[in-house]
Structure 1
Amino acid sequence: MEHVEAVVIGGGQSGLAAAHALVGAGLKPVVLETSDRPAGSWPRYYDSLTLFSPARFSALPGMPFGGDPDRYPHRDEVVAYLTAYASRLQADIRTGRRVIAVRADGAGFTVELEDGGRLSARAVIAASGSFGRPHRPGLPGLEAFAGQVLHAADYRGPAPFAGQRVVVVGAGNSAVQIAAELARDSRASLATRAPVKFARQHLLGRDLHFWLTSTGLDSAPLGRLLKTPPAPPVLDDGRYRAALTTGTPDRRPMFTRLDDDRVTWADGTTERLDALILATGYRPHLPYLAGLEGALDPAGHPRHRAGSSPAHPGLEFVGLEWQRSLSSNTLRGVGRDAARAARRLAAHLARS
């Protein structure tokens, strides 16, 4: 068995930020990434995805996002940025390494890999994100629906749906962005349980993220105060609100049933439907902690206090939604939580 100081599970934005922070704290982390490159889930997002935060507010600690700081980077720019960031880290990053289990082992942990390998680590940071666990709500008739059903995690672009009748379920940024894109060449609707909430992208000539940062709201430790974190509004420069206003796509109250290849709307009307896209979010993807007693709750969500496991000293989480603040699971904010996790682990290892 290989013995290491700290293992970081996940080589995306959270894992890379965690590795950077651990190195800064004087530790030698090993980063284990399932895919073939240290960019996490970003290469698998839909083709047209564009950040809602400018480049100047979308960087990890220690390396600015290059180019025009006021532009909104596309998916491939983020992938290139993360790849370059990883190449500069003084950390042992191993791709193609899927972790299947973490087990308590004396004063540390045993990390088991799918290929049969094992590592003994004194500390572990779970930073595997949520892309691997897309949320599929229990919609009436969904399992028997004869049309195509896919989650936003599997959506790449509008071309396969040209000329079709498509419904996108969801009221967040991705749902609105995908529905508006589909509406150019498809008959697309956005189905939501409540009207879409918009937030202005610019206020007084500045991007919203400038105000969130300058007021301190972006990093305020609100996570522990919120029993049910609020759903974020759709950030909009005016185009998405205009698209819904003109019906491209149209927004409708949630349908009441799917039956064969038909959808029944709240007003009782029915129509044939070709495809349903679920832009319904994600849940933390931590299957490798299932056998670590007390690490997860019955629903598979991590038990933690601002990122620290109460049941297992030496186990930290990084990149959880509202882990500590509004920006905890974002490029701009994950570094703050990673730094705190690294400080706690360094202190823990010094004591043990």
Structure 2
Amino acid sequence: MPDYDAIVIGGGQSGLAAAHALRCANLSTAVLEASDEPVGSWPRYYDSLTLFSPAKYSALPGLPFPGDGDRYPRRDEVVDYLRLYAKTLDADIHVNQRVETVTHDGHLYTATTDTGETFTAPRIVAATGGFGSPHIPALPGQDTFTGTIIHAGAYRNPTDRTGEDVIVVGAGNSAVQIAAELAATARVTLASRTPPKFVPQRPLGRDMHFWFTVTGLDTLPIGHRIRGPSTAPVFDAGRYRSAVANGKPRAREMFTGLAGRTALWPDGTTTEVDTIILATGYIPHLPYFSNLGALTASGRPRHRKGLSTTHNGLGYIGLEWQRSLSSASLRGVGRDAKYLVTQWNRQASVRTA
């Protein structure tokens, strides 16, 4: 007999949303979380991180985000909210259980953790999301660089970079937020292949997420994705556009090489650099599936809208563009989790018909 009807790997926003959907379907559920509490990666993000979606658009199913719904929550507020949400779930949440391997015998999945414990179920959800493995691209001349290179996931606050020459690589929200914060106490360059694209945070007096909702853009199916620049636009009330316009940080086209403590730019000039911060995103973190045959050669999941195309009863929550624009966000993971469980129920109905 299986231990549970479903296992969820990861206790962050995606895993908690998955557990909620599974319990709503009356499926006994275990959540396996590697850290000591079910709050995902949020405590490890930089100190000043602020959501670009208001609180009322940043909640998981069944529990509104506390406080003023029009405010933009900070990192620690999100952590507190996830702690509260986890307490509302009628699921077994096992902390300090890092899943190392998952096997499948054709009927049951067995998840084995670093403590040696095993958990079995006919369904399993990978909800470690897209923020467990930083994407660290190779930089031209990186082998000769004598300064410091870190990913944005390792950045906390500007204290250690005071007075430095810093390059932040990227053009998305995190890159611009970090660069603008650092520019108060360091000499900062924002380097990217395409310049940051700023869009109004509150067009016509309403937050952009209001317009996403009323127009249906937020839930537009993946098949209708509007192709464009790979970097998401920066939602801005004017602060960041002004900062870049004033050279704090200075925006430049991506450097062409590194040598020692020097960066070479496309116009032939060079500048000194002490630290490079890579705000270059993340890739799916699914090492426990490496021997299951569910991933591509590059480690990405084989799926359609979160449903595995290689294994019955295997699903994913929290992947970017899994089903829509909002799939990897607090406001989107609940919709994707409900879709996944609904599809499983339909498949089960067909098999028993």
TM bucket normalised to smaller? over 0.9
Once the two structures are TM-superposed, the CA of residue 254 in structure 1 deviates from its matched residue by 0.6
Structure 1 residues 229, 299: closer, same or farther in 2, change over 3 A?
A: farther
Aligned ranges for residues 181-220 of structure 1 at < 5 Å? 181-220=181-220
Query: What is the aligned partner in structure 2 of residue 290 from structure 1?
Result: 290
Aligned length in residues: 351
Query: What is the aligned partner in structure 2 of residue 150 from structure 1?
Result: 150
Paired residue secondary structure (2:129)? coil
Query: What is the aligned partner in structure 2 of residue 48 from structure 1?
Result: 48
Query: What is the aligned partner in structure 2 of residue 72 from structure 1?
Result: 72
Paired residue secondary structure (2:179)? helix
CA distance in 2, matches of 1:198, 1:41: 26
Once the two structures are TM-superposed, the CA of residue 272 in structure 1 deviates from its matched residue by 2.0
CA distance in 2, matches of 1:226, 1:317: 23
Query: What is the aligned partner in structure 2 of residue 330 from structure 1?
Result: 329
Q: Check whether the contact 1:308–1:341 (CA below 8 A) recurs between aligned residues.
A: yes
Query: What is the aligned partner in structure 1 of residue 308 from structure 2?
Result: 309
Aligned ranges for residues 127-276 of structure 1 at < 5 Å? 127-223=127-223, 230-276=230-276
- Report the residue type matching 2:308 in the other structure: S
Instruction: Quote the sequence identity (%).
Output: 56
CA distance in 1, matches of 2:96, 2:348: 28
Once the two structures are TM-superposed, the CA of residue 226 in structure 1 deviates from its matched residue by 7.0
Paired residue secondary structure (2:212)? helix
CA distance in 2, matches of 1:227, 1:211: 19
Are positions 1:9 and 2:9 aligned together?
yes
Once the two structures are TM-superposed, the CA of residue 231 in structure 1 deviates from its matched residue by 2.7
- Report the residue type matching 1:248 in the other structure: K
Once the two structures are TM-superposed, the CA of residue 64 in structure 1 deviates from its matched residue by 0.2
Query: What is the aligned partner in structure 1 of residue 91 from structure 2?
Result: 91
CA distance in 1, matches of 2:213, 2:311: 33
Paired residue secondary structure (1:301)? coil
- Report the residue type matching 1:132 in the other structure: G
Paired residue secondary structure (2:308)? coil
CA distance in 1, matches of 2:51, 2:61: 18
Paired residue secondary structure (2:283)? coil
- Report the residue type matching 2:335 in the other structure: R
Query: What is the aligned partner in structure 1 of residue 59 from structure 2?
Result: 59
Once the two structures are TM-superposed, the CA of residue 59 in structure 1 deviates from its matched residue by 0.2
Q: Tell me whether 87-96 or 129-138 shows the greater mean CA deviation.
A: 129-138
CA distance in 1, matches of 2:347, 2:142: 48
Structure 1 residues 8, 170: closer, same or farther in 2, change over 3 A?
A: same
Once the two structures are TM-superposed, the CA of residue 222 in structure 1 deviates from its matched residue by 2.2
Query: What is the aligned partner in structure 1 of residue 114 from structure 2?
Result: 114
Query: What is the aligned partner in structure 2 of residue 105 from structure 1?
Result: 105
Are positions 1:19 and 2:1 aligned together?
no
Q: Tell me whether 339-348 or 144-153 shows the greater mean CA deviation.
A: 339-348
Q: Check whether the contact 1:123–1:314 (CA below 8 A) recurs between aligned residues.
A: yes
Q: Deviations over 1:309-332 (max 9, x none)?
A: 111010010110000000000001
Paired residue secondary structure (2:263)? strand
Once the two structures are TM-superposed, the CA of residue 270 in structure 1 deviates from its matched residue by 1.8
Q: Deviations over 1:100-147 (max 9, x none)?
A: 111111312111111111122110000001222100111112233210
CA distance in 1, matches of 2:2, 2:259: 54
Q: Check whether the contact 1:129–1:285 (CA below 8 A) recurs between aligned residues.
A: yes
Query: What is the aligned partner in structure 1 of residue 339 from structure 2?
Result: 340
Structure 1 residues 55, 191: closer, same or farther in 2, change over 3 A?
A: same
Once the two structures are TM-superposed, the CA of residue 194 in structure 1 deviates from its matched residue by 1.1
Once the two structures are TM-superposed, the CA of residue 203 in structure 1 deviates from its matched residue by 1.1
Once the two structures are TM-superposed, the CA of residue 95 in structure 1 deviates from its matched residue by 0.8
Query: What is the aligned partner in structure 1 of residue 298 from structure 2?
Result: 299
CA distance in 2, matches of 1:62, 1:311: 32
Paired residue secondary structure (1:247)? coil
Structure 1 residues 227, 190: closer, same or farther in 2, change over 3 A?
A: closer
Once the two structures are TM-superposed, the CA of residue 349 in structure 1 deviates from its matched residue by 5.2
Paired residue secondary structure (2:133)? coil
Q: Check whether the contact 1:139–1:257 (CA below 8 A) recurs between aligned residues.
A: yes
CA distance in 2, matches of 1:77, 1:185: 26
Q: Name structure 1 gaps, 5 residues minimum.
A: none
Once the two structures are TM-superposed, the CA of residue 220 in structure 1 deviates from its matched residue by 1.3
Q: Tell me whether 90-99 or 265-274 shows the greater mean CA deviation.
A: 265-274
Once the two structures are TM-superposed, the CA of residue 308 in structure 1 deviates from its matched residue by 0.4
Q: Check whether the contact 2:197–2:234 (CA below 8 A) recurs between aligned residues.
A: yes
